[in-house]
Amino acid sequence: MNYRHVYHAGNFADVVKHAVLARLVEYLKRKDKAFRVIDTHAGIGLYDLSSEAARKTGEWHDGIGRLIDAQLPVDAAELLEPYLDAVRAVNAEDGIERYPGSPVIARHLLRKQDRLSAIELHPEDAKTLASVFEGDFQTRVTELDGWLALGAHLPPKEKRGLVLVDPPFEVGGEFDRLVDGLKKAHKRWPGGIFALWYPVKDRKAVAAFRDDLADAGIPKIMDVEFYIRPPSAEPRLDGTGMVVVNPPYQLESELRIMLPVLGKILSERAGAGWSVEWLVGEAAAS
């Protein structure tokens, strides 16, 4: 309950996470039929990068601050444009003062027939989030434990869509909760797309998490990891990960275009890198 994402908003982990989120939403828009995005740990929606908290860490300077005006190869620029357009939409033309969280990015990309369910447990943050979407009939903000939402809100009436699970990882057991929550959610909605974010700090914990996912009995699981530096001696956010269940068929090829470009822009030093691996699925056995 003490976690505040404003300290980290717009950092390298947000860039990778939100770039993947945008590609998933763009995929869902390929069909005319409506879909729903469910964000289980939605935060406050919009982050002031000039605030004392954001200035205290300054993490966004080495994240979105590096990317927003970077010269990108044409193919990567095309894939990153929906995400970058969402960032520019909440800022003036002459710089970055605010960073959109995942619900604001997802909402920016929706069509008129699509819907967003933004869920946040912290009472103050839920109130702030509701004010961001006040009067928006396409968005519903709910003050609720995101883990409970994986049961209560699935499947959505649209029968198409995406669930983003982005917990703060401020208490122990989050990896176990991700696996357990995914099992229950997938059982309720086996055809949905699920995107689960996780930090890369403890490599042994990440490896155990990946093993647990592989043994979860879920047919199609892709794991995306991105590192800005080699493993640190002390626990530190060296990288970011995103597990995608039922990934769109073209996501892997898109990631192999975007991630090398993001690596060149965001990496801290030699020893950085990225990977796209199937934990479960036909490609995992090939």
Pairing of strands 115-120, 46-48: unpaired
Which of 31, 39, 25 has the alpha carbon at shortest distance from 165? 39
Distance CA 206, CA 197 (A): 12
Q: Which residue has the tokens 């406050």?
A: 44
CB atoms within 10 A of CB 87: 22
Q: Is 211 a catalytic residue?
A: no
Which of 150, 129, 224 has the alpha carbon at shortest distance from 192? 150
How much is the pLDDT for 106?
98
Give the torsion through C-alpha atoms of 171, 176, 179, 183, to 10 deg: -110
- What the block records as the tokens of 265 is 């822009």
Low-confidence spans in the chain with pLDDT less than 50 = 1-3, 285-286
Distance CA 4, CA 10 (A): 13
Instruction: List, for residues 146-196, the tens digit of each pLDDT value.
Output: 988 888 889 999 999 999 999 988 778 999 999 999 999 999 999 999 999
Annotated catalytic residue, options 14, 125, 166, 238:
166
DSSP reduced 3-state for 164? strand
Residues in Cβ contact with 253 at an 8 Å cutoff, skipping those fewer than 6 apart: none
Q: Roughly how many angstroms between the first and final C-alpha of the chain, as a whole number? A: 43
- Enter the pTM of the model: 0.95
How much is the pLDDT for 1?
34
How much is the pLDDT for 284?
56
Instruction: Give backbone dihedrals phi and psi of 99, rounded to 5 degrees, phi first.
Output: -125, 130
Give, as one character, the DSSP assignment of residue 121.
Answer: -
